[in-house]
Amino acid sequence: MPPRALITGITGQDGAYLARFLLGKGYEVHGMVRRASTGSFERLTTIQHRLHLHQADLLDQLSLVTLLKTVQPSEVYNLAAQTFVPTSFVQPMLTAEFTALGVTRVLEAIRLVDPTIRFYQASSSEMFGRVRQEPQTENTPFWPRSPYGVAKAYGHWITVNYRESYGMFAVSGILFNHESPLRGIEFVTRKVSDGVARIKFGVQEKLRMGNLDSQRDWGFAGDYVEAMWMMLSQSTPEDFVVATGVKHSVRELLEKAFARAGLNWQDHVEVDPALLRPADVNTLRGDASKAREKLGWRPRIAFDELVAMMVDADLERVRREQTIDRDD
Ligand code: NDP
């Protein structure tokens, strides 16, 4: 029998990479999807026929219990969440329901249905917020600066609590930002790669940006989902930071992305104060020594290669769209 994994948030960036990775490892992969009037399976098109998709929602406890009884997985990867920091300021209650309480609902379902299921919680470097030390490790105290970060800190601690209270194999992966051509279009790296492509092809003139001084530790999503699986493959459940250990500013991201398309970012970028956040996280840089030593994990794709990959993918997409428009 192949091992069976259930991924919540399978339609998202990480879900798409993790599903491919687990299929490659011989897993039977099940995914939880929420009902919408339009499907959101674009990231899964090439593998959808190999997946088992089930309807359920983080807001609906009974749907999660039923899902676990139906699928009977040996591993659950809880990636589903309201993930966009600016939206968390506009919809803080909903963010707490999905991103914080949603974790408890999944853990409760596991506890009721089969407490031997291994559980991965997608925690975030946004929990470090106003950083207390540099670089950040598993032991750095949290100081989240957004409703998203606060909700993720709850998700982290409830995962630790179920491990300690019920002896469950529940782990929290504290992942620093990871990107790819499949990243949601509103996130800064993808907003930039998409903007560069649209400006290159004359579809858009300017790119409006918020804080250019923000610094992040950006890695490649394909590398990071491997660390999730490694965490569940250990003999004892532990939490890990996953990061490249190198940080770059949004300004550097702009420089590199525009240069990749032969453009000068200063000709095309406008800073819009309306895009600044009520409270911001200025800098994040992770120390993944523990993951390196205990999991044997290390990132393969560095920042320059990541930016090039994203810009090239968006240039190709916009070029294709332009061709289709011309042929109409
Ligand atoms: P995405 O925003 O791309 O995907 C989020 C997923 O959650 C989507 O599949 C979405 O479904 C699903 N979802 C949202 N709300 C619900 C709900 N109520 N019920 C069921 N499903 C729901 O996120 P990523 O793939 O980038 O991130 C995966 C996880 O990792 C998230 O928890 C994120 O917070 C965390 N993380 C991500 C980092 C990153 O840099 N990418 C860094 C650290 C942590 P739908 O398609 O229907 O919207």
Give Cβ neighbours of residue 198 (< 8 Å, ≥ 6 apart). Answer: 204, 318
pLDDT surpasses 80 at 327 = no
Average pLDDT over residues 258-273: 97
Q: pLDDT value at position 227?
A: 98
Given a cut of 80, is residue 320 above it in pLDDT? Answer: yes
> Residue ranges of the domains in the chain?
4-179+219-242, 188-216+246-283+302-327
- Average pLDDT, stretch 101-121? 98
Decide: 171 and 237 in contact? Cβ < 8 Å.
yes
Q: With contact defined as beta carbons under 8 Å apart, do 100 and 88 qualify?
A: no
The pLDDT assigned to 81 comes to 98
For residue 148, indicate whether it is catalytic. Answer: yes
CB 59 near ligand 1, within 6 Å:
yes
CATH superfamily of 4-179+219-242: NAD(P)-binding Rossmann-like Domain (3.40.50.720)
Angstrom distance (rounded) from CA 292 to CA 209: 35
Domains 4-179+219-242 and 188-216+246-283+302-327 share a fold: no
What pLDDT score does 317 carry?
A: 97
Specify the residue with its C-alpha closest to ligand 1, atom 7: 80
- The structure's pTM equals 0.97
Catalytic site residue from 148, 162, 180, 226: 148
- Catalytic, 120? Answer no
**Predicted pLDDT of residue 280:** 86
The per-residue b/e assignment along 206-235, b for 16 or more CB within 10 angstroms, e otherwise, is ebebbbeebbbbbbbbbbbbbbbbbbbeee
According to the model, what pLDDT value does residue 326 have? 73
Residue 26 has pLDDT above 80, yes or no: yes
Helix (H) or strand (E) holding 191: helix 188-200
Query: Does pLDDT of 80 surpass 80?
Result: yes
Average pLDDT estimate for 61-65: 98
Interval between CA 26 and ligand 1 midpoint (Å): 24
Q: Give the mean pLDDT of 262-275.
A: 96
At position 12, the amino acid (one-letter code) is G
Could you report the per-residue pLDDT of 116-148, keeping only the tens digit for each? 999 999 999 999 999 999 999 999 999 999 999
Q: Is the CB of 126 under 6 A from ligand 1?
A: no
Reply yes or no on whether the pLDDT at 266 is more than 80. Answer: yes
C-alpha gyration radius of the chain: 20
Residue 39's pLDDT is what?
78
CA of 10 to the centre of ligand 1 (A): 8
Give the pLDDT band of residue 325 (cuts 50, 70, 90): confident
At 76, the pLDDT band (50, 70, 90 cuts) reads: very high
Record: fold of 188-216+246-283+302-327: UDP-galactose 4-epimerase; domain 1 (3.90.25)
